[in-house]
Amino acid sequence: MPFVAGTSDGFLVSWTEPTGEVGAGGMEEFAVRWAALDREGNWSEPRTLAASDDFFVNWADFPSIAYGGEGRMAAHWLARSGDGTFDYDVVVSTSTDGGASWSEPRILHSDGVQAEHGFLSFFPQADGFGAVWLDGREMPGGGPMTLRAGLVEWDGATRDLDVLDARICECCQTGAALTDEGVVVVYRGRSADEIRDIHAVRQVDGRWEAPSPVHADGWNIAACPVNGPAVAARGMEVVTAWFTGAEEIPRVRVAFSSDAGATWGDAVQVDDGAPLGRVDVVMLPDQGALVVWLEAGADDATLLARRVWPDGRLAPIAELAGTSGARASGFPRMAASESGRILLAWTEPGGAGEGESAVRAGWVEVEMEEGR
């Protein structure tokens, strides 16, 4: 369950691993760990953020790490809150000294309800790290999953602030990116008649606007596909990538915005095979984007990448790595540093006779167009 965040001169990578210990409750203990990678490709020693036998460990909803400049960092993980299968809380911690020390872990949300809270995305703000997450506090009473926003201050104090969408898909990842105009968040919506297309919501001048669809795929599905969107931005340019199964055809699509996510261009299909989804995306200096996703094979899966431009041009598909299509292969994560390098991390699952699972990481090299 890797996560990648770009910094001014390198990257932060977090992941989850078993400690080999059994806790007091008789459950296996897991640790959330992280390491830094500098511009020369040197890794720091892995460090442990937290360890417990009471973590919620899930292939699709996984911890993350974020960078806010000047040594400011944030991390989140998931802790069980009750006996229900999906009763868990979002726990956050911050650092102001480059990870040398971390604040006391705190629960991000203030509701105290034993229900699902997860699929978080961080974004830096002036006074801390903004956060959006899926919040199930209304679900025990028969209500819907909601999208909420809050703030984690630099010292780790938390604020549970706003409801951004009162009815959304229950277990798809969110994405958030900073533009020159504010923040744009993408997620999978859920209409009353079970259309689960990708929506975006913006924060401009400190205020959240009403959400709106990115593209009308019209995917009618009476269950969560567990396959959320990704978003990246550079200035006023934004790109989002997502998976859809509309019309019973699996597709990976992207759409661009030139006005900080206020409006979106036509959707462009980037796959040409049998995608499993699990997408991520970064913006490139030539106003194009790089999209990665998993493609199903006969017996396994392949991690693929493709460049796409706002005018619909597509570069050839590149094969990056082999993996499995099983849940154990998780979601590939990718980020760009401020210097422009791109790092991709993914899970290489183990199995009977195949050894233990491992997190792999590699540079993604992209040849820019002339003058870029």
- pLDDT range class, residue 370, cuts 50, 70, 90: low
With respect to residue 104, please indicate whether it lies within any of the assigned structural domains: yes
pLDDT at residue 27, as a whole number: 86
How much is the pLDDT for 185?
A: 98
Q: What is the mean pLDDT of residues 265-288?
A: 96
pLDDT at 371 over 50: no
pLDDT at 272 over 50: yes
Q: State the Rg of the chain over Cα.
A: 19
Count how many domains the chain has.
Answer: 1
Phi, psi (rounded to 5 degrees) for 63: -60, 165
Residue 112 sits in which domain range? 1-168
**152: in domain:** yes
* pLDDT for the residue 369: 63
For residue 4, tell me if it sits in a domain: yes
User: Could you report the per-residue pLDDT of 338-361, keeping only the tens digit for each?
Assistant: 888 999 999 998 865 567 889 999
239 in any annotated domain: no
17-48: per-residue pLDDT in tens?
Answer: 999 998 877 889 999 999 999 988 999 999 99
Residue 323: which of 344, 297, 362 has the closest Cα? 297
CA-nearest of 296, 247, 248, 246 to 271 is: 296
Q: Domain containing 83 — which CATH number?
A: 2.120.10.10
Distance of alpha carbon 228 from alpha carbon 51, whole angstroms: 27
In a domain, 73, yes or no: yes
The mean per-residue pLDDT over the stretch 176-182 comes to 97
Average pLDDT, integer, range 244-265: 98
Percentage of residues in the chain with pLDDT exceeding 90? Answer: 89
Range 77-85 average pLDDT:
96
pLDDT score recorded for residue 372:
47
Q: Judge whether 255 lies within some domain.
A: no
Q: What is the rounded average pLDDT for all residues in the chain?
A: 95
Domain membership of residue 321 (yes or no) is no
Q: What is the pTM of this model?
A: 0.96
Residue 355's pLDDT is 72
Share of the chain above pLDDT 70, in %: 98
Residue 157 lies in a domain: yes
